[in-house]
Structure 1
Amino acid sequence: MHSSIAIIGAGPTGLLLAGDLAQAGVSVTLYERRDSTSNLTRAFGVHARTLELLDARGLADEIATTGAHIEALRLFDRIRVDLSRLPSRFPYLLITPQYHVEQALEERAVKAGATVVRGARFTGLRQDDERVTLDFDDGSTATADYVVGTDGVHSAVRSALGLPFPGKAVLTSIMLADVRLANPPASALAVNAVGDAFAMVAPFGDGWFRIFAWDRRNQVNDQTPVTLDEMRAVTSRVHGTDFGITEARWLSRFHSDERQAPRYRVGRVFLAGDAAHVHSPAGGQGMNTGLQDAANLSWKLAATVQGWAPEGLLDTYEAERHPVGKLVLRSSGTLIRLAMVRSRPARWLRNTVGSGLLAVPPVVRRAAGVISGVGITYPGAPRAADLPLRGGERLYEALREGKHVLVTATSMQGYGDRLRIAAPDVDSGVAVLVRPDGYVAWQGPAGDAAKVLPRFLS
């Protein structure tokens, strides 16, 4: 089987990438080692920037109904990160199981024409100047013009490329549980740490709650089962109550690493999501960072396959996303280390200094922007605001065609297969060219647009 693009790994990152490529008319095959989908997952938070990207695919409003909306993150007693003032249509953190996101993304990908092959265990690859050959454990092979590894922290694609994954384990014996509570916490999201333990309690909005916990006193291997009594004990020690844990539908234990591949591209093969970077779960940025990797890469691959990509466009994927991966490792690592502070004076200092800093508006905006993804930009390419367009349309609705959008009141011709012209609600005389991933490629006088477009679209 030959595809223009082959993707290894059908998690959220691979599914979004496949849907984008298929919508653009690119032949794409998604290979997944699991025979079926699973509704058991670690990820449960969808941040504002990710919801904006899902909005640009017509999925956000549906997914936003599947869980609880958290407008502020409360950390370590008195530290509060306000999300309600984010400059976004989605000024909150959505708490919903990852499988809701995966289901919506897979339905979109298949409907657009992506091929999903399950039970396909990738074992190796070979590449030359024209294509990549993939090997599978049943002896079969497949070829593709380009390959993307979205196969997680133990990525077989990364191993096949011979890329190291430097870093270290940050926490061991992290516990996850989806439970029912007789006495839910008063705040929507309850987070606290007491030096030798921490616990977070978050509502899914359907009567179930996710507890994420760690206990320094009980460090065991990942295979040791988690018990409800263990969850009750650590939650009570951290919060003063176990909130009346009554039953669980899922209990799991894992360890958390901080690692990043030195390169996201080797020839015709790319890495995205946890295959490229993995970090502490603090801040809930794992799935979000992977989805944003996919949104950045998909349109660049489509433009290259279709023959209109500007010189060096594919190289900008690593140039733009590798620093973001590094930033997420740093920010999530800071949060988890603050949660692990042991001495009482150090915890007092953490809480006092943290709450004081987060009373300063610029610091609040920066913290909320990094955690939510709304504040992340690329060199020369800021995030595009959801501009109102003529006729009651929004910019992110216009982006649903998967094309660049030129917001201008000036009539223009050409580039119909890769450009959407959209008139602003109010003409300021300025034109804005927005990339398919929702970042500004160019902004300037409307009269200059015709001269500038060839630089981006041919």
Structure 2
Amino acid sequence: MTGTGTTGPIRPARPARHTRPAVVVVGSGPTGLLLAGDLATAGVPVTLLEKRPEKISNLSRAFALHARSLEQLDARGLADELEEAGQRLERLRLFSRLTLDLSTLPSRFNHLLVIPQYEVETSLRRRAEEAGVDFRFETEVTGLEQDADGVTVRLRTAAGEGELRAAYVVGADGMRSVVREAVGLPFPGHSVIRSVVLADVRLAERPETLLTVNTAGDVFAFIAPFGDGYYRVIGWDRRRDVPDHEPLELAEVEEITRLALGRDFGMHDPRWMSRFHSDERQAPHYRVGRVFLAGDAAHVHTPAGGQGMNTGLQDAANLSWKLAQVLAGRAGDELLDTYEAERHPVGKAVLRSSGGIVRLAMAKRPWTLALRAGLTTLLGAAAPARRRALGQITGVGYRYAAPKGAHRLTGTRVPDLALAGGGRLYEALRGGRFVLVAPGSYDPGAGRGDRLTAVRWAGDRRTTLLVRPDGYVAWAAEGATPAVTEAALAAHVG
């Protein structure tokens, strides 16, 4: 319970399949699923297009949920079930002697949750279906055109060619995004590591740690459990640069693992093996008119630090409520510009941090080895530097730009505050609404009941916070009068 009378998200009735969507989301990975579920929960008709058949793939590469993503999932009532399905890790080893203690994070989720991406997709898809998202699988987007009133999406299905019209389109369709290409956006960058091997195998020997990772000279290896008896093995040998289509044998995976980790743990019975290359790329813009990019369609980077899926989830959480506000007529088009303004710098920072981890992990030259040793010493000895690194990797340290003269908390992430009556802030956020956290009782009025939840601090506080649906401060004030609070609500909530 939240103490506000709200026990969970409002579930609108499932729209008829022929209903024209207000938003078309392309891609049913975690980013697209969270975004579509948010929009449908807010009452926005949304269609999700996916070219794959109707199933959840178990061949995903992501294996970790960081604290900020777990907070976002908590605000949607999903974190607890995922916590039960995954395994907690309180220390994250990046390279060599550098290990970060996650237990010090200022979050209810002061750990890394090791969980396969398909488990996250399963929960998000169920939520989206319950909210009324119109799923259309085996539907390929072949192009789109936009005008002042909307976007026409061209489709190809088994039944032939077709079109779908919507007010907005979001491309969450991965690195090779058709949506990004259709709006003419480049994807500048380069391949960082090539011929990375992946294998899902059984192990005769169980690793001592939940996540096993190490580098040795020119080789790197990583092992993580699926939880069903299989393990994902990721390996790279800098000296072996072959095309992605080159056949992969288990012997090669075993050799890389032995070189990096000292033994191959008796791996056997592979159910899937593949090669891939890891790029660092970012689109120059996340918005072109009525079309938006999110997740891997907007940015890709190395898997170091496990930030990929997490960054996409947070893109979706940022964009969904803004689209809902504009479509409901409560905000102007300029609100949608803040999506790129807020998320593009975060994507750029993730590229830098994940790329830096890889380069330092594989350091060979004396100056890079010295830099790695120095960074390890600094993070071990300097608490501010360690907090900054933790905040960046886990996502809890990012803040968005605030207008000049705004309260110092504006744009910051809000932790899971304790509320009067025993509730928590992230429970209050589960309705997809703004949340006003005030020192005393506040009546939002009947006209705002569907978009604002008013709660009280637990304890004696003078600060009034208006928390956005994505858990960031939209406005704050000390000792705010009812008139000042009302003006802020009119400006932000409508």
TM-score above 0.5, yes or no = yes
- Paired residues of 2:360 and 2:369 also in contact (CA < 8 A): no
- Paired residues of 1:164 and 1:262 also in contact (CA < 8 A): yes
Q: Does the alignment pair 1:148 with 2:170?
A: yes
Partner of 2:468: 435
- Paired residues of 1:197 and 1:215 also in contact (CA < 8 A): yes
- Paired residues of 1:410 and 1:446 also in contact (CA < 8 A): no
1: CA distance between counterparts of 2:41 and 2:120? 18
- For 1:410, which of 429, 438, 441 is the aligned residue? 441
- For 1:102, which of 114, 121, 125 is the aligned residue? 121
1:117-146 per-position Cα deviation (integer Å, ceiling 9, x unaligned):
001110111111111111112321110011
Larger mean CA deviation between 287-296 and 347-356 belongs to 347-356
Give the number of aligned pairs.
Answer: 457
1: CA distance between counterparts of 2:51 and 2:333? 35
Q: Does the alignment pair 1:393 with 2:412?
A: no
**Partner AA of 1:438 in structure 2:** G
2: CA distance between counterparts of 1:364 and 1:238? 27
- TM-score between both structures, scaled by the size of structure 2: 0.90
1:43-64 per-position Cα deviation (integer Å, ceiling 9, x unaligned):
1111110000000000011111
CA shift in 2, pair 1:196/1:455, >3 Å: same
Q: Does the alignment pair 1:33 with 2:64?
A: no
Q: Does the alignment pair 1:62 with 2:95?
A: no
Larger mean CA deviation between 264-273 and 302-311 belongs to 302-311
**Partner AA of 1:370 in structure 2:** Q
2: CA distance between counterparts of 1:327 and 1:351? 19
For residue 162 of structure 1, give the secondary structure of its aligned residue in structure 2. Answer: coil
1:335-374 per-position Cα deviation (integer Å, ceiling 9, x unaligned):
111122235x457535532321121211111111111111
- Paired residues of 2:51 and 2:137 also in contact (CA < 8 A): yes
For residue 140 of structure 1, give the secondary structure of its aligned residue in structure 2. Answer: strand
Partner of 1:282: 304
Deviation at residue 439 of structure 1 after TM alignment: 0.5
Larger mean CA deviation between 218-227 and 131-140 belongs to 218-227
**Partner AA of 1:457 in structure 2:** V
Deviation at residue 70 of structure 1 after TM alignment: 1.3
Q: How does 1:45-444 map to 2 (within 5 A)?
A: 45-137=64-156, 138-310=160-332, 312-343=334-365, 345=366, 348-359=369-380, 360-380=382-402, 381-408=411-438, 409-414=440-445, 415-444=448-477
2: CA distance between counterparts of 1:151 and 1:118? 13
- Paired residues of 1:194 and 1:342 also in contact (CA < 8 A): no
**Partner AA of 1:449 in structure 2:** T
1: CA distance between counterparts of 2:355 and 2:369? 20
Larger mean CA deviation between 421-430 and 99-108 belongs to 421-430
1:370-419 per-position Cα deviation (integer Å, ceiling 9, x unaligned):
11111111113100110011221100000000000001123223321211
Q: Does the alignment pair 1:17 with 2:35?
A: yes
Deviation at residue 42 of structure 1 after TM alignment: 1.1
Partner of 2:24: 6
CA shift in 2, pair 1:389/1:230, >3 Å: same
2: CA distance between counterparts of 1:84 and 1:250? 34
Larger mean CA deviation between 225-234 and 45-54 belongs to 225-234
- Paired residues of 1:56 and 1:397 also in contact (CA < 8 A): yes
CA shift in 2, pair 1:80/1:202, >3 Å: same
- Paired residues of 1:80 and 1:358 also in contact (CA < 8 A): no
Partner of 2:10: none
- Paired residues of 2:63 and 2:224 also in contact (CA < 8 A): no
2: CA distance between counterparts of 1:446 and 1:323? 32
- Paired residues of 2:67 and 2:110 also in contact (CA < 8 A): yes
1:273-296 per-position Cα deviation (integer Å, ceiling 9, x unaligned):
111111111111111111100000
1: CA distance between counterparts of 2:249 and 2:78? 36
CA root-mean-square deviation: 1.5
1:95-124 per-position Cα deviation (integer Å, ceiling 9, x unaligned):
111110111001000100110000111011
**Partner AA of 2:42 in structure 1:** A
1: CA distance between counterparts of 2:83 and 2:205? 25
Partner of 2:485: 449
- Paired residues of 1:7 and 1:28 also in contact (CA < 8 A): yes
CA shift in 2, pair 1:160/1:354, >3 Å: same
1: CA distance between counterparts of 2:94 and 2:281? 24
CA shift in 2, pair 1:165/1:311, >3 Å: closer
Deviation at residue 446 of structure 1 after TM alignment: 3.7
Percent of aligned pairs sharing the same letter: 56
CA shift in 2, pair 1:13/1:156, >3 Å: same
Partner of 2:406: none
**Partner AA of 2:235 in structure 1:** A
For residue 170 of structure 2, give the secondary structure of its aligned residue in structure 1. Answer: strand
